[in-house]
Amino acid sequence: MKVGRAAPEVAKRRGDYDAWFAALTGWGDAAKVVSPPDGDALPSPSTCAAVLVTGSSAMVTDAAEWSERTGAWLAELVRAEVPTLGVCYGHQLMAKALGGRVGNNPRGRAIGTREVRMMPAAHGDPVFHGAPEVLTVQLTHREVVLEPPAGAERLIRAEHDPHHGLRFGPRAWGVQFHPEMDTDYVRLLIRQRAAAIREEGMDPEALEAGLRDSDDGAALLARFGAFTR
C-alpha cells in the first residue's frame, strides 16, 4: 500500500518507496502496488497474501477520505490475520483504525538516526525474534501513536516514543521508524526541512553529523518477507 512518495530527485535514481520495500522484503516482482491517495481501489482482504503499508508526508490526523477508507480496510486485514506491516504512517493508521489514538508527539519532531530498544514481548515474536536488543534505525516523523489500541503489545520503545513498535494481532505489526531508509536519504530530508527544524529548536547540522548507517531496519524487512513466504 503506497501512501506516500520518495523525494523526486531520489526516485529518479533509485525508484520510489514501493521499489525499496519490494527489494528489501524479497517480494520483488510478486509485489502489487496499490496507491489509495491516487484513487486505487482496495483489494479484497481474501486476495492478499501479505500487505505492507508505507510511510507518507501526510498526517493521519488530517483524516483524508482515502486514509480513513484505508484504515477501515486495514482493520479487516488484522481481523482476518493477513500478515501486515505498517511503517510510520502505516503504523499510526493501523493503530487509529483499531481504536488507538494518534497525534503530535509532545516531545516534538524526531528525525535522524536513533537507537530504539526491544521489549520483552519481542523476543518470541516471529518477525522481531533475533533482532539485537538495541536497534539503530532511521526515522522522520512528528505524529506518533499516543495510545495503542486495546490488546496491542509493545515490541519496541524509544526514548521519545514508548509505542515505537507494536503487535496489533497474531500477524499484524507496526513500526514508527523507517526500515527502508538509509542515511543518504535521511540527510536529504534533514536538508530539505532545515528551516523548520531550526524553528523547532533543533540543529540540522548536528542531526546530520549524528547519522549512522545500520542494517537493522533492512534485516527487519527481510524477516517480515521471509515470514510472509
Is 91 a known active-site residue? no
Question: The C-alpha cell of 207 is what?
Answer: 542531526
- Point out the catalytic residue in the list 48, 91, 143, 180: 180
Active site residue 180: yes
The x, y and z cell numbers of residue 112, run together, are 535522524
Is 48 a known active-site residue?
A: no
DSSP notation for 11-33: HHHH--HHHHHHHHHT-GGGPPP
Are the CB atoms for 24 and 37 separated by under 8 Å?
no
- Selecting among 88, 141, 143, 160, the annotated active-site residue is 88
Catalytic residue among 133, 159, 178, 200: 178
Catalytic residues: 88, 178, 180
